[in-house]
Amino acid sequence: MTIVTRFPPSPTGSLHIGSARTALFNWLYARHHGGNFILRIEDTDRKRSTAEAVESIFDGLRWLDLDWDGDATFQTSSLDRHAEVAAQLLENGQAYKCYCTPEELTEMREKAKADGKRVFYDRRWRDRDPSNAPEGVAPVVRVKMPLDGETTISDLVQGDVTVANEQLDDFILLRADGTPTYMLSVVVDDHDGGVTHVIRGDDHLNNAFRQFHLYRAAGWEPPAFAHIPLIHGADGQKLSKRHGATSVQEYRAEGVLAPALCNYLLRLGWAHGDEEIISRDQAIEWFDLKGVGRAPARFDPAKLENLNAHYLREMPTEELVDLVLDAYREEALDCDEQIAKSRITSALPHLTQRAKNTTELIDSANFLLTQHTYPLAEAKAEKMIASSRSEIQEIRSALNDQEEWSEEALNERLRALAENLELGFGKLAQPLRVALTGSTVSPGIFDVMTILGRTETLRRLERVPDGEAD
């Protein structure tokens, strides 16, 4: 048997982080078993579905490197097929037409609430002769659920889960306008797509019992079900906007790397021993549903940040250089591209030790590639330059005839200068840092000087205003 999993997002917004984890688990399960991973866009909610959301889903999955097999399908393209199955169920006596008026349904709801009971359709048209149907009422089509006994689903994550069949309502398959409901569409699409394993959030567990019987009513074998606990925030509540970023695109914009995010999502509710850093190849080799826990996973931004920093440091130098340089291509570089690449390459060991994401890395590389202007944007830095002009002049004079441009030689020269001026070394190092980088924060000052080189260091010192800032 070929394993077939699916990811069926609704295109009503960006790819949610919880949905991305569901997609990842489905993708890994299929790849682990050498099976197929299907992408189906469930766009039957035409009012809320948008083309922009569809593209956002495609973009998010591609960025995460979760490729799907075959073309993505759209649920709306199979509406006729869904209606056809409903007609077959009617013909086989597994479904019936319900002619309840809106007023009757309202009365049912109000009575149930007044009696303190669950709001439940009372099945009044289940065995009623359609010839008694009121005029002018377009019927819905409802499925016949079993009336007694129990249903047990052997869930691959939750274990055996049982419900009393009296809790299963005769839900609607076709609305009065002839359009199919989600419950019908998803079962038909999963069956027609050959889906063998439905892996999804445990908020769909109740739906599984209804879908199980719909499969049986249609004469089909139900797939295996695996319901994964949802992701919660630190407060134990379902992950939402109040916990911070929730979409894949937001994390991407914040400088999170796709492999780091996938690694983190994989470890949210799944484990393989004590392994924390898991490559894509290892994930495919190790992934199984036995490793999925039953308790909700807690999303910890700090853990994602630390994991992302690890992946950032492990990225190939060439990729990092291109990533940084691409971010500045539209700006006025103060050097040609070859010099820019050389500076970035030399600085990376220092920059990646501080950066937790690509945004911070790109920002920290600013001094390598752009020319800061006076007055400086950073108030603390501008104040330091304004109060340290004489020290900058002394440094400039001391370095003008400095031929050996190594960390050791520069360290020796500037410390000697500080001693001659009877100053603590920091009184020279900090204004020098600002003069060279435009900021009070940077890699070590001697690292900065050797990365920039003698000519550029002296050029930047020459640019420091001698009088009032211009």
Query: For 17-68, how does the pLDDT look when each residue is reduced to its tens digit (9 = 90+)?
Result: 999 999 999 999 999 999 999 999 999 888 888 999 999 999 999 999 999 9
Fold held by 4-71+231-306: Rossmann fold (3.40.50)
Domain 379-463 adopts which CATH fold? Arc Repressor Mutant, subunit A (1.10.10)
Q: Is the pLDDT of residue 106 over 90?
A: no
Q: How far is CA 158 from CA 81, 154, 250, 273, 294, in A?
A: 32, 8, 31, 20, 6
Among 233, 238, 469, smallest CA distance to 372 is for: 469
Is there a catalytic annotation at residue 238?
A: no
Q: What pLDDT was estimated at residue 250?
A: 93
pLDDT for the residue numbered 331: 79
Which residues have a Cβ under 8 Å from the Cβ of 233 and sit 6 or more positions away? 239, 240, 242, 243, 298, 299
Predicted confidence (pLDDT) at residue 468 exceeds the cutoff of 60: no
Q: What is the mean pLDDT of residues 147-152?
A: 96
Buried residues in 413-443 as b, exposed as e (16+ CB within 10 A): bbeebbeeeeeeeeebbbbbbbbbbbbeebb
Instruction: Determine which one of 238, 241, 303, 380 is catalytic.
Output: 241
Q: What is the CATH number of domain 76-228?
A: 3.40.50.620
E strand or H helix that includes residue 298: strand 297-298
pLDDT of residue 469: 41
- pLDDT computed for residue 467 by the predictor: 64
pLDDT (average), residues 308-319 = 97
**How much is the mean pLDDT over the chain?**
93
Q: Which residues pair with 374 in a beta bridge?
A: none
